[in-house]
Amino acid sequence: MPFSEYIQLNDGNKIPLIAFGVGTSVSRRWGNPEGLPELLKTALQAGYRHIDTAEANMLPLVEYENENEVAEGIRMSGVPRKDIFITAKDLSIKGVTTEQALRKTLQNLGVEYVDLYLIHNAMFAKNDADLQRKWAEMEAVKELGLAKSIGVSNLEQQRIQAILKTAKVPPAINQIELHPYFQRTELVSWLQQQNIALACYSPLAPLRSGSFGGRPGPVDDIFQALAKKYNVDESEIGLRWAIDQGHVVITTSSKPERIQGYAKKLPSFKLTTDEISDIAELGRKKAFAAFWHAFAPSGGDNFRLLSSRREDLIQDNWPKHNINAKSADIVDTWGPAELLSASSHEGPFAMWIGREILCTEDFKGNQYHWNEAFDLNHVS
């Protein structure tokens, strides 16, 4: 039975609250033997009706690489296109217009339109005018009927405010990392005031261990207690924490049994208002962002960064090594970069584009653009 929980966007279109995210962990080329088509078939037949085709926010080229696999999975499922909500993202590749990028995506997916098209991030925009021009292109593809709704991803308030100054159509949604350890309270409140919906990626970060997880942490005990109370897994508690606040959640798995488990268990219960508040209160005791890691400075005018070479990520041994770069390696300022300003008491953040680190932030909030020739292969 399909998931029946939806919210209405500010343009009148409805969006399912639970999305199956298409990321690196479910793609054949990234080492998953099941392959994306088979897993997507499982998800759709289990009841998912929302596909997010760009979950791997750290690796922005993955989306185009797996769109053909998404098309195959949809065909295998037997679920009619009209019953599936498809979210795709524009990567803002230099020299490629929004319409060109979306038409390529539509060709790969084998569909005539997407239900939601998002600006992946604002790193391409050196100023508000760049972002406003991009949004005008987004409005144009909506007018052409290539996307039913348009929105943004990974944007902070000031960037969305810049869009709203010239927008004919406001963003319908903002997709950001959100979970109990990264609650973005001020941004969430402002989005609600603007009637802009919110979608959460990495909603289960508090349950993961290692570089991309927040475990152990202060929500561990309450997640375990609530899972026992409702006879579900802790992951279902984490997802309902966001869903029961009216947020879209993007989750994924390479395990068919887990995909089917979500479909069966998530509709069977809801958290109470007090339980949602208790999780939030405990979550505020720890600051953690799964995809925007903070590092301590190495002293002097140096900045201590982490390598994000794609091969490190494939081998699942990230972080492999550190880079100690002097301020002389900085070629110019480049900002503001909204994801870099995510709150943390630990230190500067790094942002990744493709195979290189191109941007970082120091303790004072200054953003820097790094020389693209900086050779990560010769750092030990």
* Active-site annotation, residues: 64, 120
Distance linking the first and last C-alpha atoms of the chain: 52
Rounded Cα–Cα distance for residues 198 and 192 (Å): 8
Rounded Cα–Cα distance for residues 124 and 91 (Å): 9
Which helix (H) or strand (E) is 7 found in, with range? strand 6-8
Tokens of 70: 């998404």
Rounded Cα–Cα distance for residues 152 and 56 (Å): 15
DSSP 269-328: ----HHHHHHHHHHHTT----SSS-B----STTEEEEE---HHHHHTT-----EEEEEGG
Measured on CA atoms in the order 259, 265, 267, 269, is the torsion positive or negative? negative
DSSP 161-215: HHHHHH-SS--SEEEEE-BTTB--HHHHHHHHHTT-EEEEESTTGGG--STT---
Asked if residue 356 lies in contact with residue 300, where contact means CB atoms within 8 angstroms, the answer is no
Rounded Cα–Cα distance for residues 3 and 316 (Å): 33
